Structure formats: structure tokens, C-alpha cells
Amino acid sequence: MVTVKPVEIPGMECETPHFLDAQRQLDEIALEMGLDPELHERLRYPKRALIVTVPVRMDNGTVRTFTGYRVQHDVSLGPGKGGIRFHPEVNLGEVSALAMLMTWKCALMGLPYGGAKGGIRCEPWNLSIGEQERLTRRYTSEIINIIGPDKDIPAPDMYTNEQTMAWIMDTYSINVGHTVPSVVTGKPVSIGGSLGRQEATGRGVAFCVHRACLEFGITDKSPSVVVQGFGNVGGVAARQLFDSGYKVVAVSDVHGGIYNPDGIDIPRLQAYISEMGRVEGFSNCKNVSNAELLTLPCDVLVPAALGNQIHERNMTDIKAKIIVEGANGPVGPEADHYLHEKGILIVPDILANAGGVTVSYFEWVQGLMHLFWSEDEVNKRLEEIMGRACDQVFAMVKKTGLRPRMAALRLAVSRLAEAKRLRGLYP
């Protein structure tokens, strides 16, 4: 009798450390809430993942090929929604993990979207504007069959912006034969973008800082804040907090950071950056590294740069009372458990940085209606939705004793599971 050895089935291509971290969060909350095993299994992997080759004619006449991705994790609640990033570290696992986080984020905020994400592996800083445009347009043509205002709506992400979205919208519109503003969000206001969209993520982070301070019982009239990443998210959040009376004591960018325990004049710093291109060297401030900045004493720490900035090697040095995640996944899994046990309140990314996708939803709706709102109306609606989500998460924390990340995830997964139960499994 011949003995046949069982075939060892390899894991999915998306199973990188980044993706497995996101998957473990789902597994943890699924166990805690007693999620139906069949629903749990369906949520553990993306619904659809597309990998494309993107050939581009460079300025010197040669042709280079890039690798692009678009992943849709789940579309039970509506069309896919998620950014497109240009970065040399983009890979299928990262994009799949971020698509999963977008699913939870949209469900938590009560938006009629599923989670998606995309990206191109490239070094955008080494590409001319013309090369970036050709790269974007060819990528759009390669993924055009799975995007659309009722299928999947891209938005800006790392190293992409409203100009990138304009190129995508134009390429899509040319291919279908008419203008389709709602195929993307985060585009320029002049071609259907929403007022308040560019500042929305940072504004939402600042709003969560305020709500977290109230929840934590910080009564100081000028709570101290440290912001890592003075870009579109961190810069806007810092300015919003400064204008609201918070004392921003440290900020940083990719080059390094600055620290002044008496507070930094954010409007003056923004003027300085527009001239010098970096925060280092600003008057009356001590230069610090990004690593040092994370361990400075403060009431609130806002990591708004890259993921996994707070981890097992530096988590014991964190001195903040509250962490509000402006970036995606800046606090690693081990650090999340440790800091929670230490009594530090962490407002998770799927809540804290959801302002961008929320106003993207507003932009999508406005484009479909061809009726646009004032910036005050956009900001008012944003605060209503962010406030409701904050209240629900903090209430869940008090009710269950879960750390805030798991409380937010429980709310999101519960809503998604209910949608899947009602829709059933076809066939």
C-alpha cells in the first residue's frame, strides 16, 4: 500500500507580518465576542486582490515597469473605500492589512462602505511630475474594471494627493465616455472635491484629542501635546490644537524634530517650514530625533507619521497620558497591551484618523447629488459623526473593560457580522 503524504498548502501571499498583525486583532475580538466561526473565517482574508504590472515611459525615453495593487477586503456594507499610496515598501500584505483596517473604520463610523486599499511600489520622490502622471494613468487603466463610484472609490494616501486623484478621475472618465466625479475622493474642489476634505483627517485627530482629554479627566486649560509627523495629518492637528489653546511642545518631520517645553508657536513654525522645508532649526527650540520625541513628557502624544513607531523596544519609555493614533498602526501589538495595563489611554487609528474617510464620504455624496455644502456644514457633520463614534467606543470600554482598540473593533465587527448574516452566503 502506497502512503501518500498530505500536501502542505502554503499560506496566502498576503500573509506578511503587517497583515498577520491585523488578522490577530480580528481573531482576538472574534474570540472575545463569540463571533460565528463561519463569519469569522470570511472576514480573515480579502474578498479580492489585484496585482498589476504598470509599464511607464520615463522622461529619458526608456520604459520601466512598476508593480501596483488594489485590494478589496469586504464590500458587505457598500462599495470599497480606501487610499492609494506610492512608496517603495508597498506590497500585497501591507495593502491587504490596510484594506482590512478600512473595513473596520468605515463600519465603526457608520459609513456605507467596505474596506479597500491600493498602491504602487515606487520611489515617487525620484519621479518627475510627468512620470508620476503617466504612472498614475496607466495604473488606473489596469485597475479600471474593479473601481467606480458604485464599486470602489480610491482616495489619496502616502505620497499621493489631490492632483493624483484628478488624474485618476480624468483617466476613468475618458474610458467610460463621460465625467464621473465620484470615482475618487480627495480631488481638487474645482473639479468636484469637497471643502474641508484636505484638513479632515487632522481635524478629526484634534477632535479626538479633545474628547480623550475630557474622558481621561485632564482639566489643565492648556494640555501639552507632542506630534510626530508634521504633514497633512499632524500639521493640521497641531494647528487645530494650538488654536484651541493646547500647548504643542514638540513636533517632527522626516528629518527630525524640535522641542520647547513652554510651547511652540505653530503658525510661525508653518511659515518657517514654507521657507526652510523642515522643522529643525526653528527658533527657541531644541532639536530632537523622532525616537527621542516619542518619549518626551506630555499629556497627549499624537504619532501621525508611519506605523509601528511605538513597540516593545521603546514602550517602557513612553511618558504620555494619552496616545491618539493619527497614523495607521503606530502602536505595535505588544506596546498596545503594555501601555493599556500601564493606564495610558490609546485612541485607536480606526477612530482617531477616520476624519478623512468621513469627509470623503461627504464628497462622494455631494458628487452623486451634484449639490455641494459649505465648509462649516462639512465640519459640523464631521464633528457629529466623530463625536458619536467616540461616545460609542468610550461607552463600550466602560461596559466591557476592553482596551479602546478592541472596543472599537468590537463595534465595527458586530455591524459587519450583522450585515453578513442578513445578506447570507451565495450560493
- Predicted local distance difference test score (pLDDT) of residue 10: 57
The stretch 196-204 carries a mean pLDDT of: 94
Q: Report d(CA 235, CA 267) in Å as an integer.
A: 10
**pLDDT, tens digit (0-9, with 9 covering 90-100), for 232-242:** 899 999 999 99
Separation between Cα atoms, residue 422 and residue 148, nearest integer Å: 25
The pLDDT of residue 219 is 79
* Residue 292 grid coordinates: 527621542
Q: Residue 144 belongs to what H/E stretch?
A: none
User: Rounded mean pLDDT of 320-341?
Assistant: 93
Helices (H) and strands (E) in the chain, counts: 14, 12
Q: Is the pTM of this model over 0.75?
A: yes
CA distances from 146 to 48, 49, 113, 292, 354 (A): 9, 10, 15, 43, 24
The pLDDT of residue 7 is above 60 = no
> Which grid coordinates belong to 225?
501635546
- Decide which of 232 and 365 is more confident: 365
pLDDT digits over 90-125, tens only? 999 999 999 999 999 999 999 999 999 999 999 999
Q: Which residues contact 238 (CB under 8 A, 6 or more apart)?
A: 202, 225, 227, 230, 248, 251, 266, 302
Q: In terms of DSSP H, where are the helices of 144-265?
A: 162-176, 200-216, 234-243
Helix 375-400 and helix 355-369, axial crossing angle in degrees, nearest 10: 130
pLDDT tens digit sequence for 121-177: 999 999 999 999 999 999 999 999 999 999 999 999 989 999 999 999 999 999 999
Where residue 18 falls among pLDDT bands split at 50, 70, 90? confident
Q: What is the pLDDT of residues 247-287, one digit of tens each?
A: 999 999 988 999 999 999 999 999 999 999 899 999 999 99
To the query of whether residue 117 is one of the catalytic residues in this protein, the response is yes
Measured in whole angstroms, how far is the alpha carbon of residue 50 from the centre of its chain? Answer: 20
What local confidence, expressed as pLDDT, does residue 5 receive? 60
pLDDT of residue 369: 93
Give the C-alpha separation, 426 to 422, whole Å.
12
Query: What backbone phi and psi angles, to 5 degrees, belong to 314?
Result: -125, 0
pLDDT at position 123: 96
Least confident of 18-27, 50-59, 104-113, 125-134: 18-27
Choice among 81, 117, 187, 420 that is catalytic: 117
Q: Quick one: pLDDT band at residue 306, thresholds 50, 70, 90?
A: confident
| Mean per-residue pLDDT, 301-313 | 91
Half-sphere exposure (Cβ direction) of 232: Cα atoms closer than 13 Å: 17
Q: Which domains does the chain have, with CATH numbers?
A: 17-179 (3.40.50.10860), 201-352 (3.40.50.720)
DSSP string over 206-228: HHHHHHHHHHHT---SS-EEEEE
- Judged against a pLDDT cut of 60, whether residue 56 lies above it is answered with yes
Return the C-alpha cell found at 237: 492637528
What cell was used for 251? 513636533
How many angstroms separate the CA atoms of 355 and 94, rounded? 21
d(CA 321, CA 340) in angstroms, rounded, equals 10
* C-alpha cell recorded at residue 98: 490596510
Which band of pLDDT confidence, cut at 50, 70 and 90, is reported for residue 406? very high
pLDDT of residue 282: 92
Residue 185 is inside which H or E element, if any?
A: none
pLDDT value, residue 105: 96
